[in-house]
Amino acid sequence: MKVAIVLGTRPEIIKMAPIVRVLERDGLDYFILHTGQHYSYNMDRVFFEQLGLPEATFNLDVGSGSHGEQTGRMLIKIERVLRSEAHDVVLVVGDTNTVLAGALAAVKLGFKVGHVEAGLRSYDREMPEEVNRVLVDHCSDSLFAPTEKAERILLSEGIPEEKIFVTGNTIVDSVYQNLEIAGRKVNIYEELGVEKCGYFLATVHRQENVDNERRFRGILKGLEMIREEFDLPVIYPIHPRAERQLKIFNIEVNGIEIVKPLDYLSFLQLESSAKLVLTDSGGVQEEACILGVPCVTLRYNTERPETLDVGANVLAGTDPHEIVKKTRIMANKRSCWENPFGDGKAGERIVQILWEKYG
């Protein structure tokens, strides 16, 4: 069996890492194709190094652009690689343009597709990610659902039961594995001058939030009000897109500690000891839930409803007063919920299923 792993963003590297580690450990044949959706491969090389992963075999460096332009460039380049390199199955994870392009290129060439993290739905078609994940689910041959709820969604959409496998989410594997690595390699608390559980952590990067001036101003005002009410630092590792929009909208930020983007191990360590996380990221919602850190989601919907069900997360939207209200509710929440995303062995299950189907 030979597996083609297509990825292009840092969250995809993180979620594919446990699968790569199992393939490496078991001496199985695979290659990594990096599209360069968010950054060039050279920019992402530090992620591979920190996580102890082998280098990507193919680097496409497609860069940014409109959704259609970016997806089109990736389709052309991915197709060339898949035509030239023997493999049995193409593996993608999540809901980005890389995932859509990788799955479409494979399907058009008649290759099998495995979708890791299948069955997630926000039911908000204004989100580009929602369109991507629906399309990829419906053209995949093996759908690795992280939870039984995701499995039920897939079945309700008419996807045959024999294509669906409930494996848990590889983000659990990754959090467990990489937090241990972080403990050896980094000390972000000393670098930022904060104490464990003595700060809030914020991430805001989604297009529907930072490209909308009213929403972005509302979120930032909410973070400022939280800093004032709780008298604790609010640390915001800013995404390049959000930093650009601050300048475009001429927004002045007060009371929030904006820091440069953090490497993954430093961010994971910071996240693990935050008093509370405020985020519009789906992956961060999952990580906070796994780590036992209360979360306030700066959106009006989520494709991770399991975090709401167990009480680890609440939706606040972008109104500043609602953000503060939900933060008050969650700030002293006891982290006694059960992790709904699995036992940290999803990577092993996925590789075993691939071996049984294609080996």
Name the CATH code of domain 2-169+342-358 (choices 3.30.70.1230, 2.40.10.10, 3.40.980.20, 3.40.50.2000): 3.40.50.2000
Q: Please, are residues 260 and 237 in contact by the beta-carbon 8 Å criterion? A: yes
For the residues 197-224, what does the mean pLDDT come to?
96
- Give me the residue spans of the domains in the chain: 2-169+342-358, 178-331
Q: Which residues contact 78 (CB under 8 A, 6 or more apart)?
A: 6, 33, 35, 60, 101, 102, 105, 106
DSSP 95-125: SSHHHHHHHHHHHHTT-EEEEETTT-----T
Q: Cα 308–154–96 angle (5° rounding)?
A: 75
Q: Are strands 58-59 and 29-34 parallel, antiparallel or unpaired?
A: parallel
Long-range contacts of 250-255 (CB under 8 A, 24+ apart): 251/213, 251/216, 251/217, 251/220, 253/220, 253/224, 254/224, 255/223, 255/224, 255/227, 255/228
Quick one: how far is CA 268 from the chain centroid?
13
| Average pLDDT in the chain | 95
Q: Say which amino acid occupies 47.
A: F
Statement: the pTM of the whole predicted model exceeds 0.85: yes
Nearest Cα residue to 346 out of 6, 16, 1: 16
In CATH, the number for domain 178-331 is 3.40.50.2000
Residue with tokens 């259609």: 68
Q: What is the distance between the alpha carbons of residues 92 and 12, in angstroms, rounded to a whole number?
A: 8
Question: From its phi and psi, is residue 28 left (phi > 0), alpha (psi between -120 and 50) or beta?
Answer: beta
| CB-count exposure of residue 282 (10 Å: 0-12, 13-18, 19+) | buried
Q: How confident is the model at residue 65 (pLDDT cuts 50, 70, 90)?
A: confident
Task: Tell me which H or E stretch contains 58.
Answer: strand 58-59
Name the percent of the chain lying above pLDDT 90.
Answer: 88
Tens-digit pLDDT profile for residues 263-297: 889 999 999 999 999 999 999 999 999 999 999 99
* Active-site residue list: 205
Instruction: Tally Cβ neighbours within 10 Å of residue 359.
Output: 14
Q: How confident is the model at residue 109 (pLDDT cuts 50, 70, 90)?
A: very high
Q: What is the distance between the alpha carbons of residues 115 and 117, in angstroms, rounded to a whole number?
A: 6
Q: Please, are residues 267 and 50 in contact by the beta-carbon 8 Å criterion? A: no
What's the token pair of residue 133?
A: 């994940």
Tens-digit pLDDT profile for residues 139-186: 999 999 999 999 999 999 999 999 999 999 999 999 999 999 999 999
